[in-house]
Amino acid sequence: MRRSMLAWVMVVAGWLPAAALAQTGTPVRAPQPGRTYKVAYSQIVDHPALNETRRGFLDGLKQAGFVEGQNLTFLYQNAQGDVGNARNIAEKFLADGVDVLTPCTTPNVQATVRVAKGGKTPVVFACVTDPVAAGILESVTKPSGTNVVGVYNPLPIAELFDLFLRIQPGLKTAGTIFNASETNSQVINRQAKAEAEKRGMKWVEVTVAGSADVRTATESLVGKVDGLILGQDNTVASAFEAVVKVAQEHQLPLFSMDTQAPARGAIASLAASNYEQGVLWAKELAAPVLLGADPATLTPVRPRVFDLQVNVQAASAAKLTIPQDVMDRATRVHGR
């Protein structure tokens, strides 16, 4: 079930500070007739959340007048989880003479910025939780003064814990899994751990080096935690089905900060809509830059449309019931 956009904006206002919704768009002109624009897009791995962002990005470009096969050449590369590949991809894109570099995910953005910062090719990024901590920007509240600008996506950590504890009030010890080499994951883990401890919860973390480690890491938490709370780690997301399998085998509640996770077997999530983040990225930053706006003068933006998704079947498998007030707030309910 998906509500109208107006209804969901009203729902979000009940979960998040009003400041999270207050954004202003950047007006755009029309693309030049007869010109073909070349956009270079990369991401660290293939998984549903990132793919939804890419779909939204392409739709946003189309809404702004940039259409594949007509006036847009869209170059896409997947780094297959390898940061070295991410750098190679950025270097190749630069050599191809693209109009704009649009990396998604913290590792790809970091690699692209190392290659292109200070140059003539704009870098318009997204899929980054904290670009300041990642060394991408000095501030998210003012223009960078460089060729780098983007969408940053801080998570509503307190509201996420409110949601998870509303569904599982007895959650006292939570386990998590992440790749410590991802700056994005380090930031989320640090914030989540602080929130858990503030609420008197124990936080147990296990790190992985690659997707092949995810199942073993999940199994190591069985019997030690009351439930799993996963962040937005790309390595874990690429092997999410392994986490779901172990959780279901042991009736272990599984929550996530990834909006696509309930469709894959998590009980609940609350985060910025991946699709709408892509649209925002394209229409408010990438399109204006393609049309001549100077990224050095643009202020980073943050998402303002959020998804609360739940999975009734996943909750039932973990012997939990999703409260009706949470069901009423959900933008999508899976597993009915």
Q: Encode pLDDT of 44-102 as tens digits.
A: 999 999 999 999 999 999 999 999 999 999 999 999 989 999 999 999 999 999 999 99
Residue 15 · residue 306 · CB < 8 Å: yes
DSSP state of 104: B
Do residues 94 and 212 share a domain? no
C-alpha distances out from residue 131 to 280, 302, 333, Å: 17, 11, 32
197: CATH: 3.40.50.2300
Do residues 149 and 168 share a domain? no
Do residues 266 and 277 share a domain? no
Query: What average pLDDT does the chain have?
Result: 92
Residue 133 · residue 152 · CB < 8 Å: no
Task: Look at residue 18 in the predicted model and tell me its pLDDT.
Answer: 34
- Residues 6 or more apart whose CB falls under 8 angstroms from that of 199 comprise 161, 165
Task: Look at residue 2 in the predicted model and tell me its pLDDT.
Answer: 36
**Per-residue pLDDT tens over the stretch 19-45:** 333 333 444 479 999 999 999 999 999
Residues 10-21 have a mean pLDDT of: 38
Q: What are phi and psi of 182, to 5 degrees?
A: -90, 115
Do residues 277 and 254 share a domain? no
The number of domains in the chain is 2
Do residues 36 and 124 share a domain? yes
DSSP state of 177: E
User: Quick one: which of 141, 130, 159, 153 has its CA closest to 17?
Assistant: 159
Do residues 28 and 52 share a domain? yes
Do residues 164 and 76 share a domain? no
CB atoms within 10 A of CB 212: 11
Helix-then-strand count for the chain, H and E: 14, 12
- The identity of residue 248, as a single letter, is Q
Task: Look at residue 3 in the predicted model and tell me its pLDDT.
Answer: 36
Do residues 281 and 199 share a domain? no
Range of the domain at 166: 157-270+308-334
User: Quick one: which of 229, 247, 238 has its CA closest to 314?
Assistant: 247
